[in-house]
Amino acid sequence: MKSSTHRIASVTLAVVMAAGAASAMAQVMVGGAPMYPTKDIVDNAVNSKDHTTLVAALKAAGLVETLKGPGPFTVFAPTNDAFAVLPDGTVDMLLKSENKAKLTTILTYHVVPGKLDATALTKEIMAGKGMASLKTVSGGTLTAKASGGKVMVTDENGNTAHVTTADVIQSNGVIHVIDKVLLPK
């Protein structure tokens, strides 16, 4: 009985994620701007009105050239609203040059080597019996789970972000837009 329930949940998740992937084949809009699969992560992100804080942080951390590189990368990209809910002054503090190392660690905690589109992420979650551990570029671990057809990513502190837009395909990877900033231990 338990295995058939798991199988039904797995099939349901795969169908929902595949539907998201199919819609990604159409022109994806993020932050009011079209995202082009022929452009790299940075070239697309700079056009999103929802990711101006992330772009400013990438510039301050010196990560622009890295994320313009060949990759592939999977980026869990927090929106401006996600940064806005951090305690007052946090973003300004992180953008100061003396905090570059800390900012770099936080930003690379949102990056996983390789291209984990919705289909690949679903396979990882199913293979992990409902959860996938994702090793980040910073050396930390994110945990991905799915519930009710939605993917959630949890940091090492127990904070959970929801993927609000999956499969924003890039020439050097994929972006999944998330609604919270994830923080390493």
Longest dimension (CA), the chain: 57
| CA dist., res. 95 & res. 58, Å (int) | 9
Q: Whole-prediction pTM value?
A: 0.83
Share of the chain above pLDDT 70, in %: 86
pLDDT tens, 59-77? 999 999 999 999 899 999 9
| CA dist., res. 168 & res. 49, Å (int) | 15
35 pLDDT higher than 90: no
CA 161 vs CA 40, 59, 83, 103, 153: distances in Å: 24, 23, 12, 19, 5
pLDDT tens, 148-178? 888 999 999 999 999 999 999 999 999 999 9
CA 110 vs CA 1, 15, 40, 51, 98: distances in Å: 37, 26, 16, 14, 21
